[in-house]
Structure 1
């Protein structure tokens, strides 16, 4: 297992230093998608039925994410065999577990899969970057979401109850079904919220400005206390997250 010294040349998520300070008892560091992540003490001991039964908060910022905007964005994504949502503010899970969210008529957000640690999204982004440099990405351009947005996951049966304290949008399961997207204010800051729930795991994804990540994290943890929520290590959640 990697030591702190091993992470010095590794990429770091926006919450890296906060995790470093708040988890002094973790057993070490691991690498995921080129990023240093904190290794939890019990990620191999968590049962699927007990992952965040009330609510849990996980930093998914080590997984790949990218945006694409422009008149030809849909065509470019379709050529890479992505299935696209029918309308803005909808998200569609792909066969490999990745997620495509349509944020407007011409803007898409792609989130990597647990199944391949986001490798598909990373690979396609590199190809699009090369095409963009060669001026072969007409009427579309990339948005570097990996750099601009931290990615958090709020899981468990009380996820929407936690968000009700922080957001004016009704995110209850009846009003905000799986696949719905909200671009709104959370705790007085902008955020993209995606209902990424699946059959055995209620899950809300939050994409927040990277500079605000260390502001959001303690606020969410505080809002979770009423429901006995806890912080979850990404490796624990990955072991039990459907592909």
Structure 2
């Protein structure tokens, strides 16, 4: 079998230069890190891991009628701003304001449902406006028992479990750039979904790994999530 190369795909992560030596896998028309090395990364995931999900689909909607539109599309919505819900298919919906929502795709379907929402949207009379997020935001997943400790080194907001419980959303800054931090775990596994400016993700990736080093943190691939 031929080895996958990042340059062979239409879409590749802005972090591809930092993923030398990783084993790559397909995610639709894009390439994503499957795993680093040959060992099982489950223990790393539980302790402290950083996963690049930038090539997984995401999209936003804003407007007075966005909530009704998304409900008609089958999404369960948070009841208040700065809250998030995981959907039955593994995708996520974060409510960023009274009328703005962010949809994050699921690895179970390689993000197809959320990607289809962006393709299906049409401009019309309804107060529901598309906010493309694929090219504006990068998406990282921080996992493990030390998620709050890592973020405490980079962010002035208290993201401890007591102050920032499951389903919380913080729109703040970390390592001096704007970020959206969403506390949505995978079962019992603590996870922070972190979105930042795509153009700044290379810098932010390094800042995250530096903060994680104290806790034995390392990058991981998506195979351990599947």
Q: Same fold (TM over 0.5)?
A: yes
- Contact kept? 1:170, 1:176, Cα under 8 Å: yes
User: 2:223 pairs with 230, 235, 242, which one?
Assistant: 235
In structure 1, runs of 5+ residues without a counterpart are none
Give the alignment's TM-score, normalised by structure 1.
0.87
- Contact kept? 1:84, 1:100, Cα under 8 Å: yes
Partner of residue 87, structure 1:
80
Partner of residue 26, structure 1:
22
1:84 Cα deviation after fit? 0.6
In structure 2, runs of 5+ residues without a counterpart are none
- Contact kept? 1:178, 1:198, Cα under 8 Å: no
SS in 2 for 1:163: helix
1:173 Cα deviation after fit? 0.8
- Contact kept? 2:154, 2:175, Cα under 8 Å: yes
Give the alignment's TM-score, normalised by structure 2.
0.93
Distance 1:194 1:117 in 2: 20
Distance 2:56 2:166 in 1: 21
Cα separation, partners in 2 of 1:229 and 1:41, compared to 1, 3 Å? closer
Cα separation, partners in 2 of 1:35 and 1:88, compared to 1, 3 Å? same
Distance 1:175 1:41 in 2: 33
User: 1:37 pairs with 32, 44, 59, which one?
Assistant: 32
1:43 Cα deviation after fit? 6.7
1:37 Cα deviation after fit? 1.9
Answer yes or no: is 1:215 the counterpart of 2:203: yes
Partner of residue 193, structure 2:
205
Partner of residue 96, structure 1:
89
Partner of residue 14, structure 1:
14
- Contact kept? 1:33, 1:62, Cα under 8 Å: no
CA RMSD in angstroms comes to 1.9
- 1:21-54 CA deviation, whole Å, 9 max, x = no partner? xx2x334x3211321123425578344xx24232
1:6 Cα deviation after fit? 7.0
- Structure with greater strand percent: 2
* Number of residue pairs matched by the alignment: 226
Partner of residue 145, structure 2:
157
Distance 1:141 1:216 in 2: 29
Partner of residue 68, structure 1:
61
